[in-house]
Amino acid sequence: MDMKKLIKTAGPIALLFLLLFVLEKTLPTTSMLFVVLKKGAIYALVAVSMNLLNGFTGLFSLGQAGFMLIGAYTYGILTIPLEAREAVYQYFDGGIVSFTVPVLVAIAAAGLVTAVFAYLIGLPVLRLKSDYLAIATLGFAEIIRAVFQWDKLGPVTNGSNLLKRFPVFTSTLFPFAVAGVCIAVIVLLINSSYGRAFKAIRDDEIAAEAMGINLAKHKQMSFTISSFFAGIGGALLAMYQTTVQAAAFRATMTYEILLIVVIGGIGSVTGSCLASFLFIACSEWWLRFLDEVTYIGAFQVPLLSSGFRKVVFSVIVMIIVLFYSRGIMGTKEFSLDALFRFFKKRFGKTKKEDVAG
């Protein structure tokens, strides 16, 4: 492999982790920054997995929340300590799952279980085209949500009640590491021969088929892999939230992830990552002041009250959707080279003029 290229990609990532480590050691752990970083990393993974499907394979699926739900539940069910089960499954006599597995195994299991569900769902659903596919996957997500709340399944899923007391992460590095590895795998996949086949399907299904690409198999593959990572994202989300409840995995969650993908640029992995951190930071942190009634002197700033943050936020989202439909990155990827080129192009000229002047 090209050494230079390796350094150029691995270097910044290593730096990022180092920076995180230092931040964690220096800043108080209660800073909102860490909340944003944790949740942002999780959403980045889920957004990239959705991008694999929507942006790279051209399958417009809206089932992400449902798959995250499966992942989150799998993780929760497998890791709640035995001594806590009696309390968690209080209405179901401690539940019927009577073993626990290590955290990393549970995360992998979350992905695998989700992938199996996705495979089964994909069999009928992937024959549908564009918006019909979207609405069918949305429907499946709703069905999954209902099934997981069914009290007959209570001994496993705890019915509609919260799952809690499972191990959660203590360091911001953990979600970053897991999400980072997963995103790296997705990137490798996208740049592989299969990734090219996915892109071919996105560009022109009929031509792709004429090139010998088995549509059903490849769509199924993309759908299952994407769901695998959505499941892992779900498991991480469970760890972040410290509790899991099926009721929270509504279509709104899928819409938010979709909007992240759109803001980042459909077909750009780095775009999705950047956008998810921006999205989470705006909605959880930076725009929070809009929700508080604020006085400047005796003057009450108009409009500011609970919920205004979301209005401002959705207006920003609409502006991006309408006027910058390519998102932050379009289909391009972010890299140091590209950044350097960008600045050179923008500011190179002025510099020359300075010299001349």
Question: 243 forms bridges with which residues in the sheet?
Answer: 164
Q: Does 98 bind other proteins (CB under 8 A)?
A: no
CB of 355 to other proteins, least distance (A): 27
Please pick, from the candidates 70, 260, 262, 329, the single residue that binds other proteins as defined by CB under 8 A.
262
How far apart are CB 240 and other proteins at their closest, in Å? 8
Q: How many residues bind other proteins (CB under 8 A)?
A: 115
337 part of the interface to other proteins, by CB under 8 A: no
Q: How far apart are CA 234 and CA 72, in angstroms?
A: 4
Distance CA 174, CA 94 (A): 29
DSSP state of 162: P
Per rule CB under 8 A, is residue 19 in the interface with other proteins? no
In this structure, how many other beta carbons lie within 10 angstroms of the beta carbon of residue 17? Answer: 14
- 5, 13, 16, 31: which one contacts other proteins (CB under 8 A)? 31
Least distance from other proteins to the Cβ atom of residue 47, Å = 14
Q: Which of 127, 112, 126, 48 is nearest to 74 (CA)?
A: 112
Q: Using DSSP bridges, classify how beta strands 243-244 and 295-296 pair: parallel, antiparallel or unpaired.
A: unpaired
- Distance of alpha carbon 278 from alpha carbon 286, whole angstroms: 9
Binding mask 292-331 for other proteins (x = CB under 8 A): x------------xxxx-xx-xxxxxxx-xxxxx-----x
> Which ranges of 52-172 does DSSP label H, i.e. alpha helix?
64-79, 82-88, 103-125, 130-149, 154-157
* CB-nearer residue toward other proteins: 71 or 267: 267
**Which residues are paired to 295 by β-bridges?**
300
Backbone angles phi, psi at 299, to 5 degrees: -90, 120
Q: How far apart are CA 4 and CA 35, in angstroms?
A: 34
Minimum CB distance to other proteins smaller for 97 or for 283: 283
For the CB of residue 153, give the shortest distance to other proteins in the complex, in Å: 10
CB of 16 to other proteins, least distance (A): 20
Of 44, 45, 189, 260, which lies in the binding site for other proteins, with binding defined by CB under 8 A? 189
340 binds other proteins (CB under 8 A): no
Q: How far is the CB of 103 from other proteins (least distance, A)?
A: 16
Q: Which of 138, 179, 183, 328 binds other proteins (CB under 8 A)?
A: 138
* CA gap 208, 199 in Å, rounded: 9
Residue closer to other proteins (CB basis): 10 or 32: 32
Structure tokens at 357: 């002047």
Contact in structure between 257 and 43 (CB atoms under 8 Å): yes
List the one residue from 5, 8, 127, 352 that touches other proteins (CB under 8 A).
127
Residues 56-95 that bind other proteins (CB under 8 A): 60, 84, 87, 90-91
Q: Which pair of structure tokens corresponds to residue 88?
A: 């968690």
Question: Is the Cβ of residue 84 or residue 97 nearer to other proteins in the bound state?
Answer: 84
